[in-house]
Amino acid sequence: MLSGKALHTIKACRFCWMCRHLCPVGLVTGKESNTPRAKALLLDMEQKGTTEMKVYAEDMFQCALCASCATNCETGYEPPVFIREARRNIVANGLAPDYVMNVIDKLMAADAETQKPASETADVLVYIGAHGTETAKEMAEAFGSVLTKAGVLYMTLTAEPADGNELYDLIGETAEVKAVAKKCADAINGTGAKKVVVLNPSAARMFLQEYPAWGLELSAEVVTATAFAAELLKEGKLKMKQAEGVVTFHDPCRLARDLEETEPARELIRAMGYELKEMIQSKKLTKCCGGLVLEAHSPKLAQLTASGRISDADRIDVSVMLTACPGCRSVLQKGDGKAEVKDLFVLLNENTL
């Protein structure tokens, strides 16, 4: 079953070509089935009985759910709505490819692990997200060091529960995802934190947009790590060395598009002394790197998509691409191209006294 909103969007998108050139996956594969239009057409054909779910099951997972199509749609349609619902139906009907089911099973098993309380007691809780990635670990260490230098007392969860964003992308709005989200909300509320500072923008999006829509209340104020650090800068709590060089910034989709946050990262980059050069498709119109979820089940497709983004930095002749998301950095680092991908907080830590 597809919702009325999904069916209405499918009707609008199935014969429309207007955003096909802005789909980062379709751009690098050149495959018609990787365009929003084709996905809508396949679902419309199924409604009319001229195709079956098993025919398009794989195609629905070849999408980063980046919402570039939706952001650029002049008429306000959102293909991720029907793609996410189609995935939910595909999984429920047992038609998801094995390589996707393996990732879903892994995410469900990880959530079953026992959670532990916070490391310390403080008003500020740092939620890292993007579990198991080396980039998240490195980003968290660098961010923690910046907070310490700024005199901010903070705590972390010793066994951080998943926020549910990966599972949500794969199986949509289901009871399983909401159960994961509830466990995470309970763990955060149990710390008594007044503010939760979130490193992974995908997790921040869940806390700020999906959790409230599902009736899950976080007692702490939610703020992204970039916004929090920029606030410390404004308050004069970050003392910077002055660096030199030209960099570009890759806006994470969830941060720039979903949370509409683009300036704090740029303020931090400029405060470090770097010249900032913008790529094509920056800020809210950012081009997706592929993302951790796509990488988990289709690493070659994610790598190709990441290479497409790195080529944007190469095109403006900038050798350093910064980003502020453990997922983006992890995926971009595997892409081909000349630009070196670095984490904003690692650089911020190096340049903070």
**What is the contact surface with ligand SF4 in residues (CB under 6 A)?**
12-13, 16, 18-19, 23-26, 36-37, 63-70, 73, 75, 77, 79-80, 288
Strand ranges of the sheet holding 246-250, from the earlier edge strand across to the other edge: 275-276, 246-250, 320-323, 340-343
* Backbone φ, ψ for residue 278 (5° rounding): -90, 140
Percent helix / strand / coil, the chain, rounded to 5: 55, 10, 35
264 or 290: CB nearest ligand SF4: 290
Q: How far is the CB of 117 from ligand SF4 (least distance, A)?
A: 37
205 close to 252: Cβ distance less than 8 angstroms? no
Q: How far is the CB of 78 from ligand SF4 (least distance, A)?
A: 7
Q: How far is the CB of 219 from ligand SF4 (least distance, A)?
A: 32
| String of DSSP letters for 202-229 | HHHHIIIIIHHHTTPPPSSEEEEHHHHH
73 or 136: CB nearest ligand SF4: 73
Residue with tokens 């009325």: 4
67 or 289: CB nearest ligand SF4: 67
Question: At CA 301, angle to CA 181 and CA 26, rounded to 5?
Answer: 95
Q: How far is the CB of 24 from ligand SF4 (least distance, A)?
A: 6
Q: How far is the CB of 263 from ligand SF4 (least distance, A)?
A: 23
9 or 352: CB nearest ligand SF4: 9
In terms of DSSP H, where are the helices of 150-298? 165-171, 175-191, 201-205, 211-213, 225-234, 253, 263-271, 291-297
38 or 196: CB nearest ligand SF4: 38
> For the chain, what's the residue count?
353
Dihedral of alpha carbons 196, 200, 203, 207, sign: positive
Q: How far is the CB of 109 from ligand SF4 (least distance, A)?
A: 27
Q: How far is the CB of 262 from ligand SF4 (least distance, A)?
A: 18
67 or 203: CB nearest ligand SF4: 67
24 or 201: CB nearest ligand SF4: 24
The DSSP bridge partners found for residue 196 are 125, 222
31 or 234: CB nearest ligand SF4: 31
CA distance 231 to 209: 22
Q: CB 51: neighbour CB atoms within 10 A?
A: 15
Q: How far is the CB of 298 from ligand SF4 (least distance, A)?
A: 12
